[in-house]
């Protein structure tokens, strides 16, 4: 099924129709995503079907972030300068609708390639995911995110790894 991913537009996208298995991720999209975009805290990207462009299949958020060198996976940290803080990209939330199983991987890949593409305009050494529960931890681990252990819920995927996943779309 052809999908596209675009910035959340409350005038066009049906936020009320979206349901995640995690209630906090449903309410974020419905109540906070627009405000966070207006305040430049987080950009929300929604995935829609080409044939039903108002219905939100899933979404993710991206924000600029900083990490300490010691937080990063050791192998990556060894190759970076010893700056006190390093630029990263926070993927703060990622969820698909309960009625759209199998779309999580597409959402994740779009988020990763978007984050990678943005490094041409603003540096970032890794995508950081925050796992709120065991299922999220398992999902991130499956896709190669590393959890160095300093912050137990924080998972890292180095930008160099993402660059090898596939050609960014733009």
Ligand X SMILES: CC(C)(COP(=O)(O)OP(=O)(O)OC[C@H]1O[C@@H](n2cnc3c(N)ncnc32)[C@H](O)[C@@H]1OP(=O)(O)O)[C@@H](O)C(=O)NCCC(=O)NCCS
Binding region for ligand X (CB under 6 A) = 20-22, 25, 93-96, 101-105, 131, 135-136, 138-139, 142
Least separation in angstroms between residue 56's CB and ligand X is: 12
Decide whether 20 or 76 has the Cβ nearer to ligand X: 20
Length, in residues, of the chain: 170
CB of 130 to ligand X, least distance (A): 7
Nearest residue (CB) to ligand X, 112 versus 131: 131
- Nearer to ligand X by Cβ, of 84 and 102: the residue is 102
What is the smallest separation between the CB atom of 146 and ligand X, expressed in angstroms? Answer: 15
Distance CA 36, CA 43 (A): 7
R_g of the chain, CA atoms, integer Å: 16
State the burial class of residue 56 (Cβ atoms within 10 Å of its Cβ: 0-12, 13-18, 19+): buried
CA 121, 123, 126, 127 torsion: positive or negative? Answer: negative
In the complex, the smallest distance separating the C-beta of residue 69 from ligand X, rounded to whole angstroms, is: 25
Q: In DSSP terms, which residues pair with 3 in a beta bridge?
A: 49
| Nearest to ligand X of 52, 80 (CB atom) | 52
Distances (CA, A) of 163 to 4, 65, 123, 124: 21, 19, 13, 12
């Amino acid at each position: 099924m052809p999908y596209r991913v675009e910035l959340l537009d409350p005038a066009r996208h049906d936020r009320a129709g979206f349901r995640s298995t995690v209630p906090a991720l449903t309410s974020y999209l419905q109540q906070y995503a627009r405000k966070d975009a207006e305040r430049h805290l987080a950009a929300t990207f929604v995935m829609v079907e080409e044939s039903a462009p108002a219905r939100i299949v899933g979404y993710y958020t991206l924000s600029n972030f900083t990490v300490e060198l010691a937080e990063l996976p050791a192998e990556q940290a060894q190759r970076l300068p010893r700056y006190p803080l390093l630029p990263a990209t926070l993927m703060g939330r990622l969820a698909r609708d309960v009625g759209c199983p199998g779309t999580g991987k597409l959402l994740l890949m779009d988020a990763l390639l978007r984050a990678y593409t943005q490094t041409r305009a603003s540096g970032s050494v890794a995508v950081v995911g925050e796992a709120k529960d065991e299922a999220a931890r398992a999902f991130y681990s499956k896709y190669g995110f590393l959890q160095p252990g300093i912050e137990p819920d924080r998972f890292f995927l180095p930008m160099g790894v993402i660059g090898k996943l596939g050609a960014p779309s733009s």
